[in-house]
A and B are shown apart, each in its own frame.
Chain A
Amino acid sequence: MAEVDLAEVLAAACAEHAGRTAVVDGADRVSYTELSERVRSRAAELDAVLGPDRRRVGIHADNSLEYLVSYYALIRSGRLPMLVDAKFGAVELAAIASGCGVGDFLTAAPAKFPLPAEIRPVADSALSIAALDDPPATAPRPRPDTATCRFTSGTTGEPKCLEFSGRAVLAAARNWVAGTGLGADDRVLCLASFSNGLAFNTSLLPVLLVGGELHLYRGLPSSRGITRAVAAARPTRLVAFPLAYRVLGEAPAPDVAPFATLSRAVSAASVLAPGVRADFERVYGVPIADYYGIAEAGPCTYERDADRGEGLGTALPGVSLRIVELPTGEHEVRVRTESMSSGYLNAPDLLAERVDADGYYRTGDRGRVEDGRLFVTGRLGGPINLAGRKVDPVEVEQVLRVLDGVAEAVVFADADANGEAVLHAVLGGPRPPSRDEVIRHCRAGLAAYKVPGRVSYLAAVPRSTTGKVRMAELRALVGTTESDRSS
């Protein structure tokens, strides 16, 4: 297939659906015609600020119409947008800057931008360019067809930068549309961040491709906030994390009337507990469709049958699933998709190592397939899933090890009293810092969700003769319960 220009794809969709509403962000409502015009003018405004040579731009902001317009404008102006988690702090941003060659970030909160930078306003935009005072001296070369980049927590201690071609992004969108029946009459209320695969793969392009309405959500997903947004948007689809369905299902006085227009609630990114599904469906009468997606591979499955109350559905078009028995006897889920990332910009060979000889990505998830339906039963190891956000413990351990008095740091998934996954840091050393100091130190550099909630201290971390941490012994020493929601 030839290279795909996502700006042209959007322009064609805007022309096809010209008079319809495209995006609603609070009081801002734009038609497809207006969206196309805004993208065109924003591209010119970004050209004026960035000039011809500054091509890589991180977007470090919460969802907004401005974000969406700027994302497509960057593509239109021949630049490489990099969708950065808005919660990332100085450590993550500095690693992205140096490891991926990014010297410019779009930000909605210039006064709070975590790195030293010159703020350059973008005309007619709520976003500004933060041009780093200390731009990267070198920059790894992206693949020629890379159209956009996203990030995932990295074992190397810094966020890994996923490169996606325009072809892969379009394939993800088209397969999502075909596999889920998304259409022009759909109004999609999206609670997830664009930098997360849940929103990227279900909303940022697919809704616009078919001429639907994309409604954006701002703020914490409390039951009251979501209900208010549903009442305003009258969505046919809700895209959210299991956490949102939990708070809705547990709401003390749920207002169910606004949910009457909703025909499907899409959930992904972390395990949807059976009780959460049951509560939500009982209260609101809307089936939840669980979907399985992988940062590196895009959307993989979707449950089309509204009466199915378990599992993650069947493979989407363009997706092939296989279950492989490992030497340990465990069964790993592997996927091959048309929407695969082409590699990590800042770790060139790493993705290829995660793909087997037949082109299937090793997800690190344990699971099985029954009658074509995928069931994920846990993790083989690696990143921890915290309510939909992947955190590699190594990244947090590296930050902890630079604290005075810390000789050793081990971070792992524990469970809080509610059964939610929580990061537990075990510190070893002569003068370990207080919990207060640990939290303050981590918050200064890391996204808040990567800050350990539990902190324990040991004189020394138990290790095998080869130096490997004895996790079972360590867990027993600090008194933990392995989270059943950690995958």
Chain B
Amino acid sequence: MSNEAVGAVAPVGATDRRAEIERLIEVATGRVVTVADLRAAGGALDAAGVNSIGYINLLEALEARYGVAIDPEADPQHLATVDSIAEFVGGGR
């Protein structure tokens, strides 16, 4: 994946973070999982069809965009949904 994920999102406030993360996921999956797919799945990444490559791309994008690292081994729940990611990112961890 290119660094499209980083460049594709403009700086936004906390209220827009959820939408921004949806877009990051869309880019991380090579646009195979769209924002509409995510919403149809209630924001759950597994249910929307995010695969392991998508997760890896997303981890890289989250670190590049927010400077945060989710450890999927220790804290898999943080990667489960758009909301859990937004909460993790918003917490500044």
Q: Which residues of A contact B (CB under 8 A)?
A: 218-225, 243, 246-247, 250-252, 387, 415-420, 422, 434-436, 439-440, 443, 448-449, 451-454
Indicate whether A448 sits within 8 Å of B52 (C-beta atoms), given known contacts A250-B3, A251-B60.
yes
Among the stretches B14-22, B32-40, B83-91, the one at the interface with A is B32-40
- Cα distance, A223 to B33, chains bound together (Å): 23
- In the assembled complex, how far is the CB of residue A422 from the closest CB belonging to chain B, in whole angstroms? 5
- Considering only residues 4-58 of chain B, those with a C-beta below 8 Å from chain A are 6, 27, 29-33, 37, 40-41, 46-49, 51-53, 55-57
- Cα distance, A250 to B61, chains bound together (Å): 10
Q: 10 A-B Cβ contacts within 8 A?
A: A223-B60, A243-B56, A247-B60, A252-B3, A252-B6, A416-B31, A417-B27, A436-B47, A439-B47, A454-B32
Contact A451 B3 (CB under 8 A): no
Contact A449 B72 (CB under 8 A): no
Q: Which residues of B contact A250 (CB under 8 A)?
A: 1-3, 60
Contact A221 B56 (CB under 8 A): yes
Across the A-B interface, the 8 shortest Cβ-Cβ residue pairs: A416-B30, A453-B32, A219-B73, A418-B30, A417-B31, A252-B64, A222-B59, A417-B30
Q: How many A-B residue pairs have CB under 8 A?
A: 90
Interface size on B, residues (CB 8 A): 31
Contact A453 B49 (CB under 8 A): yes
Contact A453 B3 (CB under 8 A): no
- In the assembled complex, how far is the CB of residue B86 from the closest CB belonging to chain A, in whole angstroms? 19
Contact A420 B59 (CB under 8 A): no
Q: Which residues of A contact B55 (CB under 8 A)?
A: 220
Nearest residue (CB) in B for A439 is B49
- Cα distance, A440 to B40, chains bound together (Å): 12
Q: Which residues of A contact B29 (CB under 8 A)?
A: 416, 453
Q: Which residues of B contact A435 (CB under 8 A)?
A: 37, 40, 49
- Cα distance, A449 to B60, chains bound together (Å): 19
Q: Which residues of B contact A439 (CB under 8 A)?
A: 41, 47-49
Q: Which residues of B contact A452 (CB under 8 A)?
A: 49
Q: Besides A250-B60, A439-B48, A448-B52, 8 other CB < 8 A contacts?
A: A220-B56, A223-B60, A224-B63, A436-B37, A439-B49, A440-B47, A453-B49, A453-B51
Which residue among A252, A439, A453 has the maximum number of chain B CB atoms within 10 Å of its CB? A453
Contact A418 B60 (CB under 8 A): no
- Cα distance, A65 to B17, chains bound together (Å): 41
Quick one: which of B3, B32, B52 contacts A220, CB cutoff 8 A?
Answer: B52
Q: Which residues of A contact B73 (CB under 8 A)?
A: 218-220, 225
Q: Which residues of A contact B27 (CB under 8 A)?
A: 417
Nearest residue (CB) in A for B30 is A416
- In the assembled complex, how far is the CB of residue B88 from the closest CB belonging to chain A, in whole angstroms? 15
Nearest residue (CB) in B for A434 is B40
Q: Which residues of B contact A453 (CB under 8 A)?
A: 29, 32-33, 49, 51
Q: Which residues of B contact A422 (CB under 8 A)?
A: 30, 32
- Cα distance, A115 to B78, chains bound together (Å): 27
Q: Which residues of B contact A220 (CB under 8 A)?
A: 52, 55-56, 59, 72-73
Q: Which residues of B contact A387 (CB under 8 A)?
A: 52-53
Contact A451 B1 (CB under 8 A): no
Q: Which residues of B contact A417 (CB under 8 A)?
A: 27, 30-32
Contact A443 B46 (CB under 8 A): yes
Which residue among B29, B32, B46, B73 has the maximum number of chain A CB atoms within 10 Å of its CB? B32
- Cα distance, A439 to B60, chains bound together (Å): 25
- In the assembled complex, how far is the CB of residue B7 from the closest CB belonging to chain A, in whole angstroms? 12
- Cα distance, A435 to B69, chains bound together (Å): 30
